[in-house]
Amino acid sequence: SGNYVCFIDSDDFIHENYISFMYDKIIKNDADICYCKSTKFTDDVQIKNEIENEKTVVIEKEEAIKQVNDLLQQLYESLDNTKAKEAVQLTYNQINRPYKPSQKYKEIPEAIDLLKKDFSKLSLSKENRLTRSQEEIMYKLTKLTRQIFQKGFDRIMYANIWFS
């Protein structure tokens, strides 16, 4: 009946303050997800679980939108084909049409998916083929969309708390 789920296996060793530390990070950063590094130990290594050298990264909606827009700009500037440029411009417009960042944020997965479909159609009709660098930009857009913009995650937080 709580708001969060924590996965800890029966063979895991955690710091005594692990749960409260992670919960505090979620509340402080208004995050939907909090995850951390883990350290693998073997039987011949003394286990030391300490929270030190804390590092937290929060990806805000506005920053994520900026990253997507920057990649779209790079892609647009690298294209020669008019139809391909139009597809990128339509994607940019779809994402940036809404005024609120939360609305822009929601548009990104669908817009990037439509862009990929448009590029596939252009490639199949032999009107445009992406160069290696353009494919890399599309890969970054796809990866960013999958990592950050999956439905339900307004903010994602990474708390680095484990060190050997």
pLDDT above 90 (res 118): yes
Phi and psi dihedrals of 134, rounded to 5?
-70, -40
- Summarize pLDDT for 54-70 with one digit per residue, the tens: 444 455 677 778 899 99
- What is the greatest pairwise CA distance in the chain? 63
Across-strand partners of 158?
A: 35, 57
Cα distances (Å, whole numbers) of residue 44 to 12, 40, 41: 16, 12, 8
pLDDT above 50 (res 49): no
Contact 83, 127 (CB under 8 A): yes
Which residue has 């500037």 as its token pair? 77
Give the helix/strand (H/E) hosting 129. none
